[in-house]
Amino acid sequence: MVRMARLSILRRLLGCGLLLACGTVLSRPAGGIPQQSSPSEELLTLPGELGNRGGRLVVSLRAEPKTLNPLTAADAPSREVIGAMQSDLVHINRAAQLTEPALAKSWKISPDGLEYTLILRKGLRFSDGQPFDADDVLFTFRVYLDEKVHATQRDLLIIDGKPIAVHKIDKWTIVFRLAKTYGVRERLFDGVVILPRHMLEKPYEEGKLGQVWTISTPANQWAGLGPFRLKEYVPGQRLVLERNPYYWKIDSKANRLPYLDELVFLFVPNADAQVLRFQSGETDLISRLGAENFAVLGRQEHRYTMADAGPGLEYNFVFFNLNDVDEKQSPEIARKQKWFRQVKFRQAVSAAIDRDAIVRLVYQGRGAGLWGPVTPGNPRWVNTSVARPARSLERARSLLKDAGFSWSNGPKGDSTLVDADGKAVEFSVLTSSTSADRTKMVTLIQDDLKQLGMRVQVVPLELRSLIDRITLTREYEACILAIVSPDADPNVDLNTWLSSGGNHLWNPSQAHPATAWEAEVDRLMEEQLIATSYERRKKLFDRVQEILAENQPMIFLASPDILVGAKNSIGNFHPAVLEPYVLWNVEQLYFKNNSENSGR
């Protein structure tokens, strides 16, 4: 019955959407929607180019968002959509990579670094017209910190094993108390979106918070503080958002943002299909472009603005299986681990890899070679003194010789690398079958290592089963993978560098650090977590980068530039190297020439 009811609501919603599509875009008949700011509201004025109101922006999304519920959203499409619909207290500006006031107009951190006092903006309203105040913030943090809710953000709000304590001083002032100093400081509020208490308190008390706000939620049962609000969802095709008339940002002429009337996410699963949609004019923006597709679109540049925003935060790497593999269960892998565990072996592999060729052939020069995990796209945290040796087969050979390897000559005049027991060195590298870039990289590496006498086999696997192999069964020899950091701060990759982390790919979730240098990384990462000054944290994280570069648990390869495109008619198009690359300033995007767009 419940299902039937939901279906009929959905059908009504769809019918409604059709009606709206036939006529002009109507705003909801809510009384007194402010178009200009009123003095009782403390709105945020954004600098930048002034735009025109109106228009419908269409972008493609790699997959359907799994949910609109920020508590359970774990997939990138859900997070991207939620980012356009919700707001946080303090926000990281994606272009400047620094924090800026959002729902909190100001904040103060006590001298001991343990108490954060946030002053909220007065007079704001949720997208359904209900007022926003400190009770919503209080409710939001109660929900995030509730163990039973299983919020994905919960871990970030637990410091030194204790949850952050939240107190309300008055209707507009909130105090957060931390158990220990926290290095990221006010950045911790980014991404913790504020939930409407008036709408979610009931389901929370009934213990049903995990089930609310699915993607098929009716628009009137949803509310947020972001620039856009829910309008319509067509399964398998698109999600339509409309302008939130109560949004709390204005431009320098006091016009309420956002400029756009509608934001449409089309579900286009394939990267090439996204390019085709963009080329045919169906979508207005495109991001996450591969270098080759970027070049194809660049040839018709008079129609689009194609931009290379510079190196992003994605790092590609090869790593070997360094888990404690049961010798009886997988004798082959255990035998090969004798090579993988030798630092000199890993260093030799790294020395033999032609990173210049990877950047040239895979990224058409639009990328940067990497010798450590921090990309040049993160100038605030990158350790520039990490050595960046050029490719050298001689150095690789001498490292291998030191580690006890030798060469035997084959019948065809080719030499084979053999270990101390006389066994030929050969191993397989897993790669995601859907990533053309990494498959290309590994084909280049295969040829690079052939010159050292190693035989490398490439095994393309579907991404899901690849991740299962690495984290669950741990039956693999080597793997090539990439991580895209969501933020520039080193804390976001804590799970990767700590030996106890589930993302510590080469040997995840260890009870005790397996090696001395992993213990050292653990210590440094934990110390920077509570260090309060940037200089101190930078020094600690620099050392982490040095240790990683020296021990090569991951052999870092390259980082692609963020390649994006937009129709020439789109104003305020300023791509950033952080996600969401082109939609981070969606409230300021506008159509320069409205007549062109009104036809649609």
Partner 1 sequence: MIRRRGWKRWLLALAVLHGIVAFAGFLAPYDPTEQDRERPYLPPMKIHLVDALGHFHLHPFFYPVHLRGRSFDQFEENTDQAIPLRFFVSGARYRLLGLLPSRIHLFGAQTSRIYLLGSDAYGRDQFSRILYGGQISLLAGLLGAGLTLFFGTLIGATAGYCGGWRDGLLMRVAELFVALPWLYLLFALRAFLPLAVSPVQAFFLIITVIGAVGWARPARLVRGVVLSAKERDFVRAARGFGATDGYLLRRHILPETSGVILTQAAILVPQFVLAEMTLSFLGLGVPEPVPSWGSLLGSLQQYSVLVSSWWMYAPALAIVPFFLVYLGLASALQQDAGTGKIEKTTGGT
> Residues in the site for partner 1, rule: CB under 8 A?
272, 275-276, 290-293, 295-296, 354, 357, 360-361, 364-365, 412-413, 428, 430, 433, 436, 440, 443-444, 446-447, 457-461, 476-477
| Cβ proximity to partner 1, 334 vs 494, nearer residue | 334
Q: Which residues are registered as beta bridge partners of 409?
A: 415
Q: At its nearest, how many Å lie between partner 1 and the CB of residue 302?
A: 17
CA-to-CA distance for 47 and 325, rounded, in angstroms?
Answer: 57
Q: At its nearest, how many Å lie between partner 1 and the CB of residue 226?
A: 33
Q: Which residues are registered as beta bridge partners of 427?
A: 456
φ, ψ of residue 572 to 5 degrees: the values are 65, 30
CA-to-CA distance for 508 and 491, rounded, in angstroms?
Answer: 17
CA-to-CA distance for 85 and 242, rounded, in angstroms?
Answer: 10
Q: At its nearest, how many Å lie between partner 1 and the CB of residue 274?
A: 10
CA-to-CA distance for 385 and 424, rounded, in angstroms?
Answer: 36
| Cβ proximity to partner 1, 456 vs 555, nearer residue | 456
φ, ψ of residue 551 to 5 degrees: the values are -90, -15
CA-to-CA distance for 54 and 600, rounded, in angstroms?
Answer: 12
Q: At its nearest, how many Å lie between partner 1 and the CB of residue 477?
A: 8
Residue with tokens 């090579």: 339
Q: At its nearest, how many Å lie between partner 1 and the CB of residue 296?
A: 5
**Which residue blocks in 416-533 are alpha helix, DSSP H?**
436-450, 463-468, 494-497, 516-530
Q: At its nearest, how many Å lie between partner 1 and the CB of residue 304?
A: 15
| Cβ proximity to partner 1, 176 vs 340, nearer residue | 340
| Cβ proximity to partner 1, 357 vs 418, nearer residue | 357
Q: At its nearest, how many Å lie between partner 1 and the CB of residue 290?
A: 7
Q: What Å distances lie between residue 254 and 32, 71, 260, 284, CA to CA?
A: 17, 33, 16, 27
| Cβ proximity to partner 1, 254 vs 273, nearer residue | 273
| Cβ proximity to partner 1, 293 vs 347, nearer residue | 293
| Cβ proximity to partner 1, 440 vs 538, nearer residue | 440
Kindly write down the DSSP assignment for every residue of 267-294, as one continuous string: E--SHHHHHHHHHTTS-SEE-S--HHHH
Ranges of beta strands (E only) in 31-152 are: 44-45, 56-61, 90-92, 99-101, 104-109, 115-120
Q: At its nearest, how many Å lie between partner 1 and the CB of residue 286?
A: 13
| Cβ proximity to partner 1, 159 vs 459, nearer residue | 459
- The answer to whether residues 89 and 189 touch, using CB atoms and an 8 Å cutoff, is yes
**DSSP for residue 469:** I
φ, ψ of residue 162 to 5 degrees: the values are -120, 135
Q: What Å distances lie between residue 35 and 86, 150, 259, CA to CA?
A: 20, 38, 11
Q: At its nearest, how many Å lie between partner 1 and the CB of residue 469?
A: 8
| Cβ proximity to partner 1, 440 vs 574, nearer residue | 440
Q: At its nearest, how many Å lie between partner 1 and the CB of residue 295?
A: 6
**What's the token pair of residue 401?**
């010789």
CA-to-CA distance for 269 and 247, rounded, in angstroms?
Answer: 31
CA-to-CA distance for 544 and 557, rounded, in angstroms?
Answer: 18
CA-to-CA distance for 529 and 543, rounded, in angstroms?
Answer: 14
| Cβ proximity to partner 1, 174 vs 306, nearer residue | 306
